[in-house]
Structure 1
Amino acid sequence: MVAGEGAGHVGADLGDRGWGATRAWVEKELSEAERIEDVARLRGGWTSEMRRLDVCGPDGRRSLVLRSFVKPFYARHAESLLAREAAVLRLLGGTDVPAATLVAADPTAQHCDHPSLLMTLLPGAVRLGDEGADRRAELLARQLLRIHRLPVTAEARPRAYQAWTSPERVRPPETTDRPELWQRAVDVIRREPPAYRACFLHRDFHPGNVLFAGDGDGLRISGVVDWVETSWGPADLDVAHCSTALALLHGVSAGMDFAERYVAAGGTPAEDRAAHLYWRLLDALAFAPDAEKVAVPWREVGRADLTPTRLTRRLEGYLQALFARYA
């Protein structure tokens, strides 16, 4: 999800094209004197449609974010996804993690046209350009460590992590000239998952789900969004996911450096090289064959250079670099 910059204006009427019930639900969650003044579509989402709702009332203006699951596949799973995000946002409310405040949730579309969640708008914007990527990666590593160190009671723990691919589901690029590299990577994830010490995971932590504000020495992370996949599992899996995204966005070296940045921040990924390789490949192979799933929203916010061909080259280069360092 992308907030702030990159929003497309929709207009004040949320009632068009089958959104009337959703609008009525949102209005019931506002104070009696407030009204929706404007609506803007937030670009960069894949699983859900995101809208910024500008609300005005006697106490001034404020902005909310409406997440709605419209695509049939995600709508079928929306109950668990939105219930998890609502629970996580409540949990994070008492921490120093910059997350949105939950306003209301309708995971089963009992009142809305689509399963939906309403929350506050966080300041800042996603920044995906190459300029300043190193400094942002340092901040990402520190933020991820703070997430992993959150104290969570056994009762409040999210579900155990789920793998997003399997040996049978991996599809190498049709045009690859390195089929042996892909087969080698698939063979690694055929093994049983390594033992690990579990912690609280964002599970989808990458530059597209982090908002930044300020510049230079004042650059800071102003928000972390998209908590629908929050899980309990190995820190290496979150490190792996952000590493893959950085490799695709900024090049192989950026992806390879992130684990070291995490360690420099105080994190402790798996000491066993084979275990670390397993988690890194388990994540990277989920992007096959060409990372188009993430490329579409990234291109929407300005990274038109991330063509399928370029992403395939970067993904293959990243796989090769992982074997060179950890095998």
Structure 2
Amino acid sequence: MTNHDEAATVRPLTLAWVRRHLEPGERIVGAEALHGGATADMRRLTVGTRDGGTRHLVLRSFVDPTRQGPAEDLLHREADALTTLTGTGVRAPGLVAFDPVAAHCEYPSLLMSHLPGRTTLHDEGLETRLPLLARQLAAIHTVRPAARPREYVALSTADTVVVPEGADAATWAAATDVIRRPAPRYEGRFLHGDFQPGNVLLDLPPEDPAGAGAGAAVARITGVVDWAAASWGPADLDVAHCATNLALLHGPTWGLRFTEAYQDAGGTLAAAADERLYWQVRSPLAFSEEVQWVAQPWWEAGRHELTTRAVEERLDAYLTSLMDAPG
């Protein structure tokens, strides 16, 4: 088996487990580390087929503890989500197998099909990609699972907020007071839990890799990955999470525009302005606790201008814009 880099090496027990889930006559002929993930080691496995061709699988392994909870819980949630999405209009990987307690592998792992496309975090072409993202998220929220996933859990609280250096303390205090109130009542929806550009695969014209220019009109989403945080809760939560990511990646205005685009795509948010604000500010306040962790994958993807300090400044500007927005 050929490894494209040392990080792609698959441990012996895990390799044997993967082989047991291949078709007769198939073999693993290569492995490549997939970068950009923040919660698990990801590898793309090349499988040689009986007819001499190849296909790909993706292996997710939780090597280290995560901020999101036990690996067993995350893998069960992802496996359930992938099963739920089979046959829906939402393109997601197909579940092949999972070992949530590392009964067969060195680490808790999940094996799934590989989707075409790639992520893009460039500023160029965002005008075209924004409505694609909004329509995709609205489609996810129309999924009605036979068995509901677990209710969302807010991992951050008003007491864990970290005010960035130089931010207006009064603005942050006012935003923090918003989430001290009980969460508004909501109509539940099937949530991705981490919907953002880094988890959306795109087919972009090869002559226009950033998705800009005339060719960008044919850009399309080929799939959505990383369903380990799937849950049941308010659509506002997913929208706010993606909007915050866009604000930090591309500037505060894009966070506000995504919320509008989601509604233009037919998505429904909380009816009352104070309820919408609750969900809108909860996301950037949660990001304040882990700015460095959030920025690291973007740096590794080539966005070297997004230093921890630069992301903190955008976070402050975005939160301020939310608090200043008319009701």
TM-score, length of structure 2 as denominator length: 0.92
Show the counterpart of 2:114. Answer: 121
Note the alpha carbon deviations across 1:145-177, whole angstroms, 9 max, x for none.
Answer: 000011223xx110001113101111112x224
Show the counterpart of 1:44. Answer: 36
Note the alpha carbon deviations across 1:111-144, whole angstroms, 9 max, x for none.
Answer: 0000000001110000000001121111000000
- Secondary structure of the structure 1 residue equivalent to 2:270: coil
Displacement of 1:11: 6.2
Q: Within 5 Å, which residues of 2 pair with 1:18-97?
A: 19-59=11-51, 60-73=53-66, 77-97=70-90
Show the counterpart of 1:224. Answer: 224
Note the alpha carbon deviations across 1:197-238, whole angstroms, 9 max, x for none.
Answer: 111111110111101003322100001001011111101011
Q: Supply the AA of the counterpart residue of 1:151.
A: R
Q: 1:135 aligns with which of 116, 128, 133?
A: 128
Between the aligned partners of 1:74 and 1:121, the Cα distance in structure 2 is 26
Between the aligned partners of 2:275 and 2:308, the Cα distance in structure 1 is 29
Displacement of 1:298: 1.3
- Secondary structure of the structure 2 residue equivalent to 1:140: helix
Show the counterpart of 1:199. Answer: 189
Show the counterpart of 1:309. Answer: 309
Displacement of 1:287: 0.6
Q: Supply the AA of the counterpart residue of 2:257.
A: D
Show the counterpart of 1:164. Answer: 155
Show the counterpart of 1:14. Answer: 9
The answer to whether the Cα contact below 8 Å between 1:164 and 1:283 also exists between their aligned partners in 2 is: no
Q: Supply the AA of the counterpart residue of 1:226.
A: D
Between the aligned partners of 2:158 and 2:8, the Cα distance in structure 1 is 46
Show the counterpart of 2:252. Answer: 252
Aligned residues: percent identity? 49
The answer to whether the Cα contact below 8 Å between 1:204 and 1:229 also exists between their aligned partners in 2 is: yes
Between the aligned partners of 2:155 and 2:194, the Cα distance in structure 1 is 11
Between the aligned partners of 2:135 and 2:252, the Cα distance in structure 1 is 21
- Secondary structure of the structure 1 residue equivalent to 2:159: coil
The answer to whether the Cα contact below 8 Å between 1:12 and 1:38 also exists between their aligned partners in 2 is: no
The answer to whether the Cα contact below 8 Å between 1:149 and 1:200 also exists between their aligned partners in 2 is: yes
Show the counterpart of 2:271. Answer: 271
Q: 1:290 to 1:23 in 2, by over 3 A?
A: closer
Show the counterpart of 1:281. Answer: 281
TM-score, length of structure 1 as denominator length: 0.92
The reply to whether residue 189 of structure 1 matches residue 179 of structure 2 is yes
Between the aligned partners of 2:69 and 2:269, the Cα distance in structure 1 is 34
- CA RMSD, aligned part only? 1.7
Displacement of 1:189: 0.5
Between the aligned partners of 1:184 and 1:240, the Cα distance in structure 2 is 18
The answer to whether the Cα contact below 8 Å between 2:128 and 2:217 also exists between their aligned partners in 1 is: no
The answer to whether the Cα contact below 8 Å between 1:243 and 1:258 also exists between their aligned partners in 2 is: yes
Q: Supply the AA of the counterpart residue of 1:42.
A: L
Between the aligned partners of 1:82 and 1:257, the Cα distance in structure 2 is 33
- Secondary structure of the structure 1 residue equivalent to 2:194: coil
Displacement of 1:75: 10
- Secondary structure of the structure 2 residue equivalent to 1:29: coil
- Secondary structure of the structure 1 residue equivalent to 2:81: helix
Q: Supply the AA of the counterpart residue of 2:317.
A: G
Between the aligned partners of 1:76 and 1:287, the Cα distance in structure 2 is 17
Q: Which runs of 5+ in 1 are unaligned?
A: 1-7
The answer to whether the Cα contact below 8 Å between 2:194 and 2:238 also exists between their aligned partners in 1 is: yes
- Secondary structure of the structure 1 residue equivalent to 2:101: coil
Q: Supply the AA of the counterpart residue of 1:22.
A: T
Note the alpha carbon deviations across 1:271-318, whole angstroms, 9 max, x for none.
Answer: 211111100111111110562222111111111111111111100000
Q: Supply the AA of the counterpart residue of 1:232.
A: W
The reply to whether residue 180 of structure 1 matches residue 175 of structure 2 is no
**Stretch of structure 1 that moved more, 57-66 or 112-121:** 57-66
Q: How many aligned positions are there?
A: 314
